[in-house]
Structure 1
Amino acid sequence: MAPRIRRFTLPELARGYRGDLGDEYIELLHFRDFDAPLAADDARLEECRFSYVQIESVRNARLIQCELEQAGAPALQAAGVFLNDVRVNHSRFGSADFAEAQLDGVVFENCKFGWLNLRGATVRDVLFRNCQFEEIDLGGRIQRLGFADSRAGQINCHGAQLREVDLQGLDFADVEGVDGLRGAQISSLQLGLLGEAMASHLGIKLGS
């Protein structure tokens, strides 16, 4: 059930400049320390690193064997993005919209999200380690998703299609759409926390 994460090591990278992000194909560049937000819509990036930058938009882009460290945005526009073997570390996003995106072999570590939107996304082999969320929308096709030492205020499971999803490492306060949890693994403690929501969904009245 654990996500299958493939290891990779980036080679030596040249300095990347804002103008480089206008190219359709970008490889072996390190984008670092930009004052203004960056955008790379529709670009293909291979073996690149982003550090100490604000990323505004990567809609319909393809990121393959890339690293993001100390990156972030008040509102990341990433609808339709394709992430394959990507690592995101020590980053913060007010919202991260991955609607209709594809995430395969992605690790988020020490990251904070206001709202993470995976509605309509195809997610496979993704791990969140030591991450915090205000809300997660899991309404996509999700396989082998795992959490470790992470916390969320609310999980929205309406329309979720879960397969081999392990939520035991996610401390959450509330779940919307408990019927969408089919295919997930939870702990006995989490089951107790879900009792009231599940009873309400099934039309069961709780006595005093």
Structure 2
Amino acid sequence: MAPKIRTFTLPELAAGYAGDLSGGEYVELLRFANIDDPVQADDARAEECLFTSVALENLRNARLLQCELEQINAPSLNAAGAFFNDVRVEHSRFGSADFAEAELDGVVFENCKFGWLNLRQAKVRDVVFRHCQFEEIDFGGQIQRVEFIDSRSTVINCAGAQLRDVDLQGLDFTQADGLENMRGARINTLQLSLLAEDMAKHLGIKVAQ
């Protein structure tokens, strides 16, 4: 089953400033642009906001609803426990993106580059990754109705993952760990051939040379 992505259009927005996001504040209908100093937005709540060319660092336990993020630069993003609902992220770079114990619902990542994407103990539902690059993805959470389109990753780690309707056909990867937890994923025949040797080892099957 394909992800269910809800469309939205942002209305006219007023100017926002980094300080508006500190101290767990609630903000709405603001445009945050060209902020070079790392933004600390732990516990913040943002609704119908645009973030463009913003250096994000901390979004722990933050809540983003119907927001757009463009050209985000985050060498190390801590978004543990965050809640993203109907969020679009485009043309952004993340050295590491820690979404441990976060909840992502109705999120689209497009033309993004990740070093490490951590979804351990996260709840991820109705999410699309389009034209994205990863060094490693840790799927160790509850992952449902997720699709990859024209994307690539060096490593995928499924240890501890609970996958349901996860379409990996559009994700080129070279190494897969935690094969025993790949139930619920969809792969293509080429990917199956790449995994065949590891699957045989995992099942204790000896393959004659």
> Normalization by structure 2: what TM-score?
0.98
Aligned partner of residue 180 in structure 2, secondary structure: helix
Please report how far the alpha carbon of residue 2 of structure 1 lies from its aligned counterpart in structure 2 after TM superposition.
1.0
Tell which deviates more after alignment, 20-29 or 177-186.
Answer: 20-29
Equivalent residue, structure 2, for 1:64: 65
User: Is residue 2:24 matched to residue 1:21?
Assistant: no
Deviates more, 1:72-81 or 1:13-22: 13-22
Residues in 1 aligned to 2:85 and 2:38: alpha-carbon distance in whole angstroms: 23
Q: Secondary structure at the match of 2:200?
A: helix
CA distance in 2, matches of 1:32, 1:18: 9
1:66-104 residue CA offsets vs partner (Å, 9 max, x unmatched):
000000211100000000000000000000000000000
4+ runs deviating over 2 angstroms: none
How far off its partner does 1:34 sit? Answer: 1.2
| Identical aligned residues as a percent | 70
User: Which consecutive residues of structure 1, in runs of 5 or more, have no partner in the other structure?
Assistant: none
Partner residue, 2:152 = 151
Question: Does the residue aligned with 1:2 lie in a helix, a strand or coil?
Answer: coil
The amino acid across from 1:89 in the alignment is: E
SS at match of 1:179: helix
**What is the root-mean-square deviation in Å for CA atoms of aligned residues?**
0.7
Cα-to-partner distance string for 1:33-87 (whole Å, 9 max, x where unaligned) = 0121112100111001110111001000100000000002111000000000000
The Cα offsets for residues 91-125 of structure 1, whole Å up to 9 and x where unpaired, read as 00000000000000000000000000000000000
Q: Could you tell me which runs of 5 or more consecutive residues in structure 2 were left unpaired when the two chains were aligned.
A: none
Match of 2:173, as an amino acid?
A: F
Normalising to structure 1: TM-score of the pair? 0.99
Q: How many residues align?
A: 208
Matches within 5 A, 1:57-206: 57-206=58-207
